A and B are shown apart, each in its own frame.
Chain A
Amino acid sequence: MTRISWASALALGAALAMPAAAQEWSLEAAAEPYAGTQLDVLFLDRPGYAAALQMIPEFTERTGITVNVTTVPYENALGEQVRDFVAGGDLDIALIDLVWIGNFAENGWIVPITEFTENPDLVDPNLNLDDFFPLLLDAFGSWGGVTYGLPFDNYSGLLFYNRCMLEEAGFDRPPETWQEVMDTYGPALTKDGRYAFALQSKRNETQSADSFARFLWPFGGSFLDAEFRSNLLSPESQAGLQFRQDLMQFMPEGIVAWDHAETVNALAQGDVAMITEWSSFYFTLTNPDTSTIVDCLGVAPEPEGPAGRRPALGGFSLAVASQADEAERAAGWLLIQWLTSAENAERYLRLGGVPGRQAVYEIPGVAEEFAFVPALVESWQEGVPEFRPRFAEWPEITEIVQEHGTRMMLGEVSVEEGARLIGEQMEAVLEAAGYYDGTKPLVQ
């Protein structure tokens, strides 16, 4: 019997052992009033969405609810949704990057899940919100203490490395601290046209999330202090940003033009020894069609800084859009609940998604089969929800960080000057938004 079959049998057994009320609820019965409803949702062209697309036909077959998916690049996803919600468009489900949750919630574009969890006809007795990693449910799906979305496409920053290159250079383990990367691994692995490390730093969200923020938090820095003033000139933030600058000597030239594709490809082709990338790229790096280092791939948590391990945190939740009508809301909730359910977590994982459920990673054999799992689970214990502030002003602030962050890396401005410029412009945005006159609470 395959593992899936065992899991099915266990699920069946558990279902039989449940109280009567739980046994009575079924997806088919819950969806019956909404058969024929069509849901509109945006997806990205990423493995987690491809996995969901393979699962959705079963949902439609069981419920009669059809799902109209429009796939867009990440760069367009926020704009498409903002315009749709402002205009009262067609989207019934919101796809929410963790840095969009404040924006969507403050504008009233999404519905708190209590609207559904308090309705016994709609809530799956096995929903078990406590099974989600608390960090994910908090960071991806919640704002101001209210939960709106369920974690769907979940990432943590991980250290992917070419174990063979490290072994050739005399290392029997990956670096545990950033200082090791700088002092030991960097010099030893940067030679013969190959580089120790690549840090994706292109001028888009990659610069803000993957490059800039990645070197703030482990060094004790942050974007904002407790009063929401810029903290980028603090000794800790400056130390982290200067460290990034110094580390560039071990990175390929032109790293400021590198996005995820170039960075993952450089590791996959054996041109760099280490990258810090989202967990979802594990599947690209273990696919022989896209990677030449399948047998050499190693995965570890991101290195620690002086302030500890503060890995990059990213991911998406799905929430019901408030512009949806009553039937669409109910149908949308059923889809979200089903896609992110514990029941489907293992299937989602095997299809290339990264579920946010804790239980799936405890299934015997999963950690061995998916090498990224131990590092991922460890990272999700230590992540920072406000790795990037999640308030509504982030879209404006990230553009400022992207501009001066790349100029900093290019040496067009010093680390201190760049941080000062970002800080001033960031504070201007926050002032206009009303954070300093008490109009808005200091929530990020």
Chain B
Amino acid sequence: MTAAAETVPGAAAPAAPPPVLGRVRRRTVAAFLAPAVIALLAVGIVPLIYAVWRSLYDFNLTRVARTRFVGLDNYATVLTDPTFWAAMRRTAFLFVTAVPVQIALGLLIALLLHRPGLGMAKALTRLALVLPMATTYAVVGLLAQVTMNQRYGVFNQMLGWVGLGPVNILGNPQNAFWAVVFWDVWQWTPFVALVLLAGLSTVPPEVEEAARLETRSHWTILRHVQLPFLIPSLVAVLILRTADTLKLFDMVFTMTRGGPGNATEFIAILIERTGNRQFNIGMASAQAIVLLVITIVLARLYVRLFYRET
């Protein structure tokens, strides 16, 4: 006999109990999640879908009336465009030159701050580390322009103090590229240092103390005791810095605008140029989607490689 058969005809059926998730009502869960989901949809998913849709059109803001569906033509153009791949190579080179330096310097700073003692000095150092990160990207670019001015900049003034002639920094393609590397390292090494410092704080003190009793080699302690605890922080740094490098725009735009020539035309600069200067929104959308795919692939790769090691 089923439960329904036991119901007395004409009597009001007992109200079904509200669905619960553990001890919390589903409606409550939905209410808490909704703002975040709506915000994510509004600022992330909807623009992404719009970009995908637009990437299938020949859509230029200066000739909106002639917009037409072109299917995957924009993607074909992007994938065979030497300018796009040159910008990608430049961006990759920036990443492989700047990020290792940031990690090395960041680790050094984190290890110094992790050592016991010097409380006040360390507190001040932590404070100082926040300043470059808190500086707006565009302001960093302007700062670079002023300080690296060949005739009036402080960099060349300091070189003059040691008897070196003024260097043409921002007007020389190679130097301009290294200038971008320098300022990226300046701005983001503190971030890496603070993340790794947080990672070091997860090392159990008793394990670290025991290791110190076993060996006086800092390298051994770092390699066999601290580094395993730092892997999650390093993966986070790699993912974040990869994403940041791929979308590096403001600083370079105010500093060199992609020049001289195309020495500092990184991928985000190229996409902005296509979309906002040439108003070719369809092509810029296709470029951005390709970049998104590359970013996702890289992020998955990091997670798979590094977490497998742990």
Contacts and interface: CB of A to CB of B under 8 A. Distances in A.
B171 A256 contact: yes
B171 A86 contact: no
A120 interface: no
A359 interface: no
Nearest to A100: B62
B171 A257 contact: yes
Interface in A243-259: 252-258
B262 A407 contact: yes
A410 B150 contact: no
A83 B61 contact: yes
B54 interface: no
B267 to A, nearest CB: 15
B277 A202 contact: no
A26 B171 CA distance: 55
B149 A396 contact: no
Q: Kindly state the interface size class of chain B when it binds its partner.
A: 20 to 34
Contact of B61 (A82, A252, A262, A412): A82
A266 B151 CA distance: 9
Contact of A203 (B168, B261, B280): B261
A393 B62 CA distance: 8
Interface in B27-73: 61-65
A79 B280 CA distance: 12
B259 A203 contact: yes
B260 A86 contact: no
Interface string A192-235: 00000000001110000000000000000000000000000000
Contacts of A204: 257
B277 A410 contact: no
Interface string B148-176: 01110000000000000000111111001
B149 A262 contact: yes
B276 interface: yes
Interface string A374-413: 0000000000000000001101100100110011011010
A254 B170 contact: yes
B188 to A, nearest CB: 24
Contacts of A255: 171
A28 B273 CA distance: 45
A203 B169 CA distance: 15
B258 interface: yes
A82 B257 contact: no
B261 A403 contact: yes
B171 A258 contact: yes
A412 B261 contact: yes
B151 A271 contact: yes
Given A406-B261, A410-B260, A412-B261, A254 B280 contact: no
A202 B257 contact: yes
A86 B261 contact: no
A104 to B, nearest CB: 9
A399 B273 contact: yes
A203 B260 contact: yes
A178 B245 CA distance: 45
Contacts of B63: 107, 392, 433
Contacts of A266: 151
B259 A406 contact: yes
Contact of A252 (B150, B173, B280): B150
Given A203-B260, A257-B171, A399-B278, A86 B61 contact: yes
Interface in A73-119: 79, 82-83, 86, 103, 107
Contacts of B257: 202-204
A103 B61 CA distance: 10
B256 interface: yes
Contact of A253 (B65, B171, B261): B171
B186 interface: no
A403 B265 CA distance: 10
Contacts of B176: 257
A424 to B, nearest CB: 13
B279 interface: yes
B171 A403 contact: no
Contacts of A86: 61, 64
B80 to A, nearest CB: 14
Interface string A270-314: 010000000000000000000000000000000000000000000
Contacts of B169: 254
Q: Which of B64, B171, B176 has the most CB of A within 10 A?
A: B171
A146 B63 CA distance: 20
B85 to A, nearest CB: 15
A403 B277 CA distance: 13
Given A253-B150, A254-B150, A256-B261, A79 B256 contact: no
Contacts of A403: 261-262, 265
A100 to B, nearest CB: 10
The 5 closest A-B pairs by CB, nearest first: A254-B171, A203-B259, A257-B171, A254-B168, A407-B261
11 contacts: A79-B277, A203-B258, A252-B151, A253-B168, A254-B169, A254-B171, A257-B176, A258-B171, A392-B62, A399-B278, A406-B259
Given A82-B61, A107-B65, A433-B63, 5 more contacts: A103-B62, A254-B260, A392-B63, A406-B259, A409-B260
